[in-house]
Structure 1
Amino acid sequence: MDEPESSRQKEVNSKIDNQVAPDGKDDVVDGKEERLASQTYDSLRMLTKVDVLQMKFNSEEDAYSFYNAYAKVIGFSIRRSRKQICGDNKFVESRKWVCSREGVREKKYLQRVERFVTSVDQAQAKAMRNVGMRTSQIMDFMVYQSEGYEEVGFIHRDLHNQFQAERKYNVDKDNRLDKIFWADGRSRMDYAVFGDVLVFDTTYRTNQHKKPFVILASVSNHFMTITFGCALLPDKIMDTYTWVLETLIEAMDGQRPIFVVTDGDRVMRQAIEIVIPHCRHRLCSWHLEKNASTNVHTPEFTNDFALLMLKKCKIVEFDNVWARMVKQYKLENNNRVLEIHRKRNKWAEVYFRGHMFAGMRSTQRVEGMNAYFNMFLEQKVRLYEFVAQYDRALARMRVNEAKTESKTENSFPILITPLRSLEKHAVEHFTTYHEPSILKCENKGLQVIKIGKLILKIPKFP
């Protein structure tokens, strides 16, 4: 007969008891641990968020042990996140733990190694930025155009960094602002068209720190001053000027100026010879005339010198006129005069035949802009306010240029001379149209017509 079920169960239990706790001591220990675990569980369950945040621990390990136990009681698991280390001894100032389920793994198109703004996207983004679109709007458009974030190939920050690449700056050994270069998208577009000629000097200081302020400028097709960028510098040494020129060329996609006009600063001249050695360098005629007046102290020589600078003739004739002039005023051994003559290929009009400086012989345009910018860039302006104030000044300049462009595109002057076809041709092919004026002429059979700087003598028509 089979044994009753109850007697068999008692036998099994008896064997287990004999194997595990023959003397009955383990039962007491297990009971104490169970009661302790139950008490710990209850105490952790009773803790509020405020209680947990107010707790202090002797070490990071103690804090982790507590929070790990607390998380298990509440019903979640944790993982280590960021921590802050300070001092040379790498003291842990703070440690953050988060739920193990917090966040999601980055998608492939969000990983840094997979992100890249192509040259096509850069060109399109710059075009939209130049018409006033914000970075977020440009990003939204490109996401729509690509049919999803996964297909764009970059994120908003990459696009933002691309635009910020136009702003270059350096810091000194104390991690303070050392020098800054700024050029916006419109300036870069202007440089691509009008960047053959560059004018700049550093005579203007714009803030309470007395830092030299450089304006890099030229003229547009309306013969109006345009800016390619600006720089705020700590000093006027060759390394600093070299940095300005190299940064300008980098910001303008490697395009180098062909002709440069400066105020004659020796250090600046050395920097030009290093960075753009093949450019044609012209010295400011106004500064040369001023230096001649200050150092030679012969007003008549200064007047003749100013005329000789602009004289259009052959080199042999120029040399003869110079020799007679120096002999006339007895300046053959004057060191200042000899120095001026050594630089003649950088200031005499006769040496610039075949070179186009867009009608500029001096840096007066830049110095005139300094006076204009002075309305916006007061002496008390702080360095971090500099770019914003500069943009304000630039915006007003560009409004005036836009008005001139609009007038050229949307108006047609009245043709008043007998040379209708010539006038019409000038209007169609040149941006700035000068109203012609009829001048008096002693010869009754001729008519003198002046259009801008062009003077025509034509037969009178009945």
Structure 2
Amino acid sequence: MEKGEESTRPTSSATRPASTTAMTQLPTGVPFRPPIAYPYAPPIPYPGCSSNSKDMTEPSSSTRPEPSSSTRRTLFSSESNTYQDSSNVGDEFIEQEQEFDNSVVEEVPSMVEEVPSSSHGNDDDGVIEPRPGMSFKTEHELLDFYKKYGKQIGFDVMTQRSKREDDVSVRYLTLGCARGGKARNRTSNVSKPRPTTKTDCKAKINAIVLDGVLRITIVDNAHNHGLSPRKARFFRCNRAIDASVKRQLDINDKAGISMAKSFNSLVVEAGGYDNLPFVEKDARNYIDKARHLRLGKGGADALRGYFERMQYKNDGFYSLMDLDDEGRLKNVFWADARSRSAYGYFGDVVTFDTTYLTNRYGMPFAPFVGVNHHGQSILFGVGLISSEDTNTFVWLFETWLKCMDMRAPNAIITDQDRAMKNAIAIVFPKTRHRYCLWHIMRKLPEKLGSHSKYNDGLKSALHKCVYDCQTSEEFEKSWEVFLDTYNLHENVWLQSLYTERMHWVPVYLKDTFWAGMSITQRSESINAFFDGFVHSGTTLKEFVDQFDNALRKR
């Protein structure tokens, strides 16, 4: 090489040194150029899953174009924006097929989307970020992987769509964020829209069966809402009750053990609330569905006979039975003439509580209770319900309202339950709704008991904030000081309580007449109606036979 002559770098990859440490000493004057880093990286399979690199076509080094929007398009000819949430991704694989404008599936693109060179995976936590090209042997493996990823990042997972072959094997599958899609307006009252979690989030993965395995073809990891890793265990896809726990709940329920005691025993056995993959409401819902009122022999006939006898004795007796498509009893409501007459005088304030017989006797018993001018509890009607969801409560409230000549109460007291709140907003839009303060405060050990200062000032400080404040401004300041003192600004439960403070904090409820009701006394008085007349083994037939006896003793 002549002096001053420009040196050229070999273009062959075979002659290019693999690394700077392996390079031989270059002659003086020859400039050093680092090796070119190719942006392509092979797909990284989820641990335990197969990944065949031969199925991936490696593009050229520097001429490979960036993935265009067409490579990220769906493999199907049309796509619905209306997603339907599955009951529990991971417990039951429920197909949620949508109607397509064209049911023909397009040819699979010749090149799936490649894994980007700069990944934001989470290998340190054991779950990597989903990438195109990842393969899974079964549908369950894919669901399990995406659920774990969602739990780690902080979003709920749902099956958005799927298609199966004649043998029920999956053909393609779309998993995505549970906040995807748009909410459907189910209420005509535009001034009080129902709350929704839908934000039309586009985060999802598409997988299609190729060569006998599920291969991820399209990935979108961008969310249009905040992520909540700390709340992930409360998401529906992460909550499940295994078979052994279900058996234990069934045995305890038949033995008359209250749900509160059954759930607390599970908490102790698991070593804390955080170690349980479900919450108390899930256990209650399971028992409600498994029980289906537990009519027993002659239960439905006993109800019909009781209603016929009461209607014969008293023209003012009102009853209604709700049956399912197969003619089985779902819900029932009744009220005698005395209850309807008493409501006309003392119906300004009503308490509605479903916890007493549900907990103690395995029946979702729903009484409407008021107080007379002597401070005594009086019944305004009784319901037996198959479940505690919004639709069931709407049916019960509408039935009770018709029984009371469409006269809604001025105020109603219930447990802090989302289904009840939604139903009350639909049926009683002008009624002042208040949460039972006793039910809220009894959750303190569960929600805040793990705090190091729970018994060292925290509990008493919260009680003082709730009970002693005389104005809303005083409560606001006291609440802020409480959160600052104990560093509880990030506590999700306290955040939800503050958002709904108008429904439970006494200082915000002074403008409404509550008939001098003590919240804890209401719960105790409901117990007093039936103590001594029904027990843990009481069937529905025995219950209706004892119902009149219990009322006559009041």
Larger radius of gyration: 1
Q: Which has the higher helix share?
A: 1
